């Protein structure tokens, strides 16, 4: 199901005139920075876990054969590692379009590598959005990712690029490592 959350995001936070905003990226925003930024830092957020639970009908799949991309699920006590971008408010016009298939901007606290804490935003696709696919056995998720392709490329490349980017940041994600193990086992 292709939806468009960009108008909701514009209404909730009118950012176009803001000089600088911190954005937390935990998925493709880590490995595909197709937008200008003032600064990029390693960072984590608390109380969330990354999961391949969001359907992608517009980037890494099609309406007929959706792929799976990451979103966040509440996970008290856990950390999710990613990157923090310091960007101009005007950049959100591009980002809202890119993340329009179900992602809403939420306020968050970013813990920057080095110890500084800053307020910012992230994009999350919650369970009530029509493109949400939710949990499934790791083998089923891996099989779906291996099969899906969309206008932004193979769904498998999204998974592999994200895994490589997280390793480059010095972190590993058990959910992602589990999917890679399923793929190695030949799902
Ligand atoms: C993000 O990267 O922070 C959001 C999800 C995605 O675009 O993959």
Domain ranges of the chain: 6-181
Task: State the sign of the Cα–Cα–Cα–Cα dihedral 164, 29, 23, 55.
Answer: negative
Instruction: Tell me the pLDDT tens digit for each residue of 126-146.
Output: 999 999 999 999 999 999 999
- Name which residue leads in pLDDT, 49 or 10: 49
Report the SS3 class of residue 60: coil
Which residue out of 45, 95, 123, 157 has the highest number of ligand 1 atoms within 8 Å of its CB and is therefore the one to mutate?
123
Answer whether 55 contacts ligand 1 (Cβ < 6 A). no
Tell me phi and psi for residue 179, to 5 degrees. Answer: -65, -40
- Whether the pLDDT of residue 22 is over 80: the answer is yes
Question: Residue 10: its pLDDT value, please?
Answer: 74
Question: Residue 8: its pLDDT value, please?
Answer: 75
| Topology (CATH level 3) of domain 6-181 | Hypothetical upf0131 protein ytfp (3.10.490)
Residue ID of nearest Cα to ligand 1 atom 2: 27
Could you tell me how many residues make up the chain?
187
Instruction: Tell me the pLDDT tens digit for each residue of 91-125.
Output: 999 999 999 889 999 999 999 999 999 999 999 99
Question: Residue 146: its pLDDT value, please?
Answer: 97
């Amino acid at each position: 199901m292709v939806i468009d959350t960009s108008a909701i995001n514009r209404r909730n936070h009118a950012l176009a005139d803001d000089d600088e905003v911190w954005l937390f990226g935990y998925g493709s925003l880590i490995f595909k920075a197709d937008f200008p930024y003032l600064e990029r830092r390693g960072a984590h957020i608390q109380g969330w876990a990354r999961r391949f639970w969001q359907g992608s009908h517009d980037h890494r799949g099609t309406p007929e054969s959706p792929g799976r991309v990451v979103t966040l699920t509440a996970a008290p006590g856990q950390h999710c590692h990613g990157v923090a971008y310091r960007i101009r408010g005007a950049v959100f016009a591009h980002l809202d379009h890119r993340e329009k298939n179900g992602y809403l901007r939420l306020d968050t606290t970013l813990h920057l590598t080095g110890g500084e804490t800053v307020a910012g935003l992230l994009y999350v696709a919650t369970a009530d959005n029509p493109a949400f696919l939710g949990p499934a056995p790791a083998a089923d998720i891996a099989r779906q990712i291996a099969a899906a392709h969309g206008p932004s490329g193979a769904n498998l490349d999204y998974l592999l690029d994200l895994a490589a980017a997280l390793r480059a940041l010095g972190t590993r994600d058990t959910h992602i490592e589990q999917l890679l193990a399923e793929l190695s086992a030949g799902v």
